[in-house]
Amino acid sequence: MAAGDQLRVTRDGDVLHIRLNRPDRLNALSAAMRDGLIDAFRAECDAPRQDAARAILLTAAGRGFCSGTDIDPALILARRATIRAEMEAGISNLVHLMRTVPVPVVAAVQGPAAGAGFSLALCADILLVADTARLTMAFARIGAMMDGGATHILPRRIGMARATALAMLARPIDARQAVDLGLAVECVAEDALQARAEDLARRLAGGPTRALGLIKAGLEHGQTATLRDALSFEAAAQEQAFASPDFEEGITAFREKRAPRFKGL
């Protein structure tokens, strides 16, 4: 992988582990890391269902999750004429893959998650934060536009007024605030974060993968759909869920009063 040691991608059973691995730079997102993430998520989007992971866990090495895009002042000023095309092929592509990969994505954040790092965390379906987490929509500090899907995701999670304040003031929020605002689902001690995130990812990987993917797609679709369109989507998706072997297993397990043994099919 082009990212080399900057990004670790490993498979443990049905869980794909993706680990940002530039702790000396607070995991600042380099072009190589970004491209490695794109490759990893695209591979899961394209994989046959029987070969694909059933959950993805995104973590980071060291004391911070991601301090944002790796900025070299001289180089970034030279990219003014190409930034739009670079974004569409790069971070925008990554965000789309993360939001459409048909399995749950869990992210675990400790320490700083700023700018693109905050946006990356927002792309997860389920976000856990350590008690050390500090999230900052920092783009305005350097006169930049928020990106990484934040204009779409952030106001839908916390409302327009709060999203506007966080983005325009570049005001950091701590772990407890992230939970209270609805950005994260749980705050745990930093030394318990990895184990808790792995446990959650394994639980999701043992679930009805087809149904979870449909739920993910339905929730995303419902953000902008009319009620009629949302109902139509639900009916079509339910038809697919009912046709899956895991649905048959779920009903059989219900009838037999036992825990279902889902296969992800």
Residue 156's contacts (CB-CB under 8 Å, 6 or more residues apart) are 223
At 137, give phi and psi (nearest 5°). -85, 80
Residue of 31, 202, 172, 41 lying closest to 109 (CA atoms): 172
66 falls within a domain: yes
Same domain? For 176 and 64 the reply is yes
pLDDT band for 78, please (50, 70, 90 cuts): confident
Contact 32, 4 (CB under 8 A): yes
How many C-beta atoms surround the C-beta of residue 215 within 10 A?
16
Quick check: helix, strand or coil at residue 164? Answer: helix
Transcribe 155-212 into DSSP letters: HHHH-HHHHHHHHHHT--EEHHHHHHHTS-SEEE-HHHHHHHHHHHHHHHHTS-HHHH
pLDDT in tens, 210-252: 999 999 999 999 999 999 999 999 999 999 999 999 999 999 9
- Would you state the torsion angle of the CA atoms of residues 19, 21, 24, 29, taken in this order, to the nearest 10 degrees? -90
Residues 24 and 95 in one domain: yes
* 31 plus 69 within the same structural domain: yes
pLDDT, tens digit (0-9, with 9 covering 90-100), for 90-138: 999 999 999 999 999 999 999 999 999 999 999 999 999 999 999 999 9
Percent of the chain with pLDDT over 70: 99
Q: Over the chain, what is the mean pLDDT?
A: 95
Number of domains, the chain: 2
Return d(Cα 225, Cα 231) in angstroms, integer: 9
CA–CA gap between residue 18 and residue 124 (Å, rounded)? 12
**Exposure string for 90-99, b = 16+ CB within 10 A, e = fewer:** bbebbbbbbb
Instruction: Output the domain CATH number for residue 176.
Output: 3.90.226.10
Average pLDDT over residues 179-190: 98
Same domain for 118 and 136, yes or no, is yes
Q: Residue 72 has what pLDDT? A: 80
Predicted local confidence at residue 156, as pLDDT: 96
Residue 216 domain-assigned?
Answer: yes
Tokens 């007024």 belong to 161
The reply to whether 75 and 162 lie within a common domain is yes
Residues 160 and 34 occupy one common structural domain? yes
**Could you report how far apart the first and last alpha carbons of the chain are, in Å?**
29
Range of the domain at 134: 4-205
Relative to beta strand 134-136, strand 173-174 is antiparallel
Q: Please indicate, yes or no, if residue 264 is contained in any of the structural domains.
A: no
**109 closest CA partner among 178, 211, 200:** 178
Residues 51 and 142 grouped into a single domain? yes
Residue 214 sits in a domain of what CATH number?
1.10.12.10
- Residue 237 C-alpha from the chain's centroid: 22
